[in-house]
Amino acid sequence: MRHDFFGNGILFASFCIISNFKNDTVKIIHMLKNWKQKAKNLKKELYALYLAYKDPRVPWYARVLAIIIVGYAFSPIDLIPDPIPVLGYLDDLILIPLGIALLIRLVPAEVLNECREKAEEKLIQSKPKNWVAACIIILIWIILFAVIGYYCVQAFK
């Protein structure tokens, strides 16, 4: 009798583990789909802010901030490379979303709504890239390496 109870207990425990694993897997898949949707919405907002930058109804200070944030976000090169632990993802996970949130507050609501509609249509066609921002970031890295190289040469003289 004890053997049956023990065997049924293992069977029950195995069933619980498997069902929990299935539930956890479903939760993870749902969470990943949710993140993917949030990333898609973020891209749409970013492109809407790019379109809003061109609108004359947007204040000058919002335009300047839009140039910086949208240009950096659409740039194929990061100022802080992603392989650098923690700092590499700081710009992608914190700075860009904070900049977008600030821009959404600075751009007039009616302009932003119009631009969101245009952005949704345009993003279906293709993904924009900002090669000018990429060149500026490359130039910053070249200058940084040149300055470091200069000081290293001076230190060893």
pLDDT tens digits, one per residue of 113-125: 999 888 888 777 7
| Higher-confidence position of 99 and 83 | 99
- How confident is the model at residue 20, as a pLDDT? 58
The torsion angles phi and psi of 83, rounded to 5 degrees, stand at -65, -15
pLDDT above 50 for 7: no
Q: How far apart are the first and last CA of the chain?
A: 87
Confidence bin at 41 (pLDDT 50/70/90)? confident
- Full-model pTM: 0.56
Domain boundaries, the chain: 44-155
